[in-house]
Amino acid sequence: MDAIFFSMKVYKYRGVSFLERDLESIAKNYFWAPTADQLNDPSEAYVNENVRSSFQDFGASDVETEFKKLMNMRHTVGVYSLSQTPLDELMWAYYSESHKGFCIENDLDRLIHEARVSWNVVEVSYHSKPQTIISDDLFAAKDETIILEKMIGSKSRRWQHEEEIRIVTTEAGPNYYASSALTGIYFGCRCEESTILKARKELQGRNLKYYQIEFADDAYSMKPREIEYDEDIDGVRTEYLAPIEEHAIPNIEHIKETNRPYYECLAKAVDIFRRDSSCERITGAGFSTTRQSNGKPTVYVQYKTNVQTQYSNELNRHFDIDELLSTVRDTSD
């Protein structure tokens, strides 16, 4: 099963009223995805429902059935809303209790890396009116993204400042992810020191980066100040190394001749990924026969994952050869 990658950071604003609950979910590596009709905007997943009578190519009963299935998604799929910025004043005010809360930073690549076939990632677009569902949308069963973009991924322009990314899950409720997806926490400018210390102590040993939001002296703008790592509070930094199965890296004579110039990249990719805390064991490595980048095959690392609720616990991670070669050269200099 292959992983999908999105190289960007995404953010979730939280208040302090449910601090214990939120810290527990962070520590246990899951997020809570409510249904669309449970979100704070009553027009969530709202589409133009008056188009049903315009469908000419299908029977009325077929259209009605498919349309009901579509509308039922409001009550079944989970929606985890994230922002592309940790520096929005309004979001700090609304979602973090007037800047008293905190903002979770996730690597989107790592957040969805465990190849959740039931997860879709949608970048929200903002419009002056609801989107229209056409017959092709209803019956294009193989392209769920079209429906999701129009329903879950469309909002009024009034929300545009949120720069939203959404993860859509098949089921609402708790959804688990790799611990390495959590990369940092931003504390609001009014966040109490006791809250900051509690969060850092709860997450000891995670090698996270922490920031305090500050306002500029001469402008209406915010900036993050990194908080210095303190082993007494944050725990001793640890390095994780997953074991490598014997013969996980094939001998060079078993490599296709055209790929042999890149042979050193296999060991480098394995060395990189065995340091990921979601990797339980490296089981194999090789060159992809289907994926390419800049005319070169990608390197894959096959591994067992320790993340909960996987459809399969053996996954592939792909690496770009040019990036690996650059890393190898930097190391040898």
In the structure, what pLDDT confidence band is assigned to residue 2 with cuts at 50, 70 and 90? very low
Task: Read off the pLDDT of residues 275-321 as tens digits, 9 standing for 90 and up.
Answer: 988 899 999 999 999 988 888 999 999 999 888 766 678 888 889 99
Tell me which range, 23-37, 66-80, 147-161, is most confidently predicted by mean pLDDT: 23-37
Q: What is the CA radius of gyration of the chain?
A: 23
3-state per-residue secondary structure call for 58-117: CCHHHHHHHHHHHHHHHHCCEEEEEECCCCCHHHHHHHCCCCCCEEEEEEHHHHCCCCCC
Q: Does the pLDDT at position 55 exceed 60?
A: no
pLDDT: which is higher, 207 or 58 = 207
List, in sequence order, every residue forming a beta bridge with 248; answer none if it has no partner. none
* pTM of the complete model: 0.81
In the structure, what pLDDT confidence band is assigned to residue 194 with cuts at 50, 70 and 90? very high
Q: Does the pLDDT at position 98 exceed 60?
A: yes
- Under 8 Å between Cβ of 113 and 178: yes
DSSP codes joined into one string, 142-202: T-HHHHHHHHTTEEEGGGGGG-EEEEEESSSEEEE--GGGEEEEEE-TT--HHHHHHHHHH
Break the chain into its structural domains and give their ranges: 9-232, 252-332
Q: Average pLDDT, stretch 92-111?
A: 94
List, in sequence order, every residue forming a beta bridge with 87; answer none if it has no partner. none
Predicted local confidence at residue 49, as pLDDT: 60
